[in-house]
Amino acid sequence: MAMTIMNNTSAMLTLGQLNKNISKVGKDLKKISSGMKLNSAGDDASSYAISERMRVRIRGLNQDEQNVKNGKALLHVAEGGIQNIIDELRSLKELALNSANDHNTDLDRATIQKEFDSRKANIDAIASETNYNGKILLDGRYGRKRVPNITKSEPTGTATISGNTITSDGVYVIPSGFSGTIQVANGVQNIEIRQQNPGAELRDVYIVGPSGGGANIWINNLNIHNTRDGSIIKFQGSNNYLTLVGDNTINYTGTIDYNKAVINIGDGLTMEGEGSLNIRNTGNMSCAGIGVDQNQTTTGSLTINSGTYDIFINNDGAGIGTSVSSRMGDIIINGGTIKSVSTTGAGIGSTGLKLSDVASGVTTSADNQVGNIIIGKDAVVDAQSLYGAGIGSGASRAHAASIKVSKDADVTAKSTYGEDIGRGYTGTVGNVDTGWNDEGVTYTGYIWKGNPLVIHHGTKALGIDAASVVTRESATAALGVIDDAINYALDEITTMGAYISRLDSTEANIVTANEFTQASESTIRDADMAKEMTAYTKSNVLAQAAQSMLAQANQTSASVLSLLQ
């Protein structure tokens, strides 16, 4: 009986080992048949997760590569279209050269004009029909454009007002016929001010920002004409913003002495927007258009990022800068289109003596000073003055710390008795750099919007839509226009070539990354067939041996049982 139990135990152990060997054979066979050592997370959980992440990366790289190839195909289509336009431009130049020669009669030129018009029509057809998979490429829809970068959000909702005090953020509409002061309560910051009827001029309206500063005020189509001394828009504190929407007109007239800047910057103001601001003063004025009041001293600066400005100060104040006997910080013009004209003060800068003092030969007056004047490459400036500099200091005892004008800015400056850019009539100025290289300077004034493909080639974009060869004179004029168009088209096709070259490099990098990622994933997931065949053979031999041992154990048990019969 004891021998029977022993034999049964041996058989059970042999059966268990056989099951293990058969399971191992199954796993080894699965690896050999699939070619992968990892067929499920159960084979190696961490390695399986790494492999799956790599496979996601590989699929993404494959799609990236296809996207780059499609992009190159699109660019090649655009390049071909531009090349066809260049070919047409060459023919136009030949026709213009022919027509400009006096061997042609008027009838000959009329015939040449017909072919000239036909080839111009071909250019428009190419521009409107060149497409990739139905996507029109050369009609200008993918051209980028520079637009003002508005750094503050436009106020929304309706502002509440108590008396003449705005007590909450939002949009406030000045009612028709209103006259008086509109005060923005302290803590109220985001305000847009409009008129109920922008076409009707409002008289004697004064807008005062919150005493704590930090104001974000938008003006939308204001039309204000004041006759009393007082800033039409007065900021207080620092970190203030004024954004222009629509066309805004602010005028001072009268015979009294105006001592308050039309727009007072407080202790710091940034101006921007897509709108315009027109400031006019034809009265007796000792104050700036945009800047600080007479006798005011602040270290606050004025920054203009964008917008269109037309400022005329008929008397003593600077167009943009200080009033009589005042001081302020820097004037920084990052962008915008500005025309600023003054009489005694600088067009942009400081103001010194009053005009009456200059005329009578007075040479003593309180000091007047502005900080650094900086004009960036995006600015378009026309600054003029009689006694002050166009850009710089005003008349006697006026000073500007320094002047830097970007070499790429579009600047016109003029002064009758002072320097165009520098010092006004007996004024002083620090260092003046009118060739400032600001290529590495980051500006907030303008940003690019739109598709980065700058491909735009109709006759209008090329500037040849009005070109003609019907007379010798017009044909001669057309030659220069056509040359400009050829240069424009060559610049565009060069841009296409640069894009294609960049995509070639991108594709090469993607292919390399894809290959190495696949190789890395293969080492994790794929089976070593020699190793797996060896393991399978070993497991198979062990399974067969276990089967044999189990058969022997079962035979021994059967023999013992037969003895008991």
In Å, what is the CA distance from 362 to each residue of 188, 336, 353, 357, 416? 46, 37, 8, 5, 19
Answer yes or no: is pLDDT of 4 > 50: no
Instruction: Report pLDDT digits (tens) over 98-154.
Output: 998 888 898 999 999 999 999 988 988 888 888 888 888 887 666 656 788 899 999
User: Across residues 154-181, what is the average pLDDT?
Assistant: 95
What letter does residue 177 receive in the DSSP assignment?
T
Split at pLDDT 50, 70, 90, the class of 14 is low
- pLDDT, residue 553, reads 60
Q: What CA–CA distance (Å, rounded) separates 258 from 433?
A: 34
Q: How many CB atoms sit inside 10 A of residue 97's CB?
A: 15
Distance CA(369)–CA(326), nearest Å, equals 7
| pTM score | 0.61
More confident residue, 220 or 495: 220
* H or E stretch at 506: helix 472-525
**CATH code of the domain occupying 50-144+458-517:** 1.20.1330.10
The angle subtended at Cα 487 by Cα 485 and Cα 489, nearest 5°, is 70
Sorted by where each begins, the domain ranges of the chain are 2-35+527-563, 50-144+458-517, 245-438
pLDDT digits (tens, 9 = 90+) for 459-509: 666 778 778 888 988 888 888 888 888 888 888 888 788 888 888 888 888
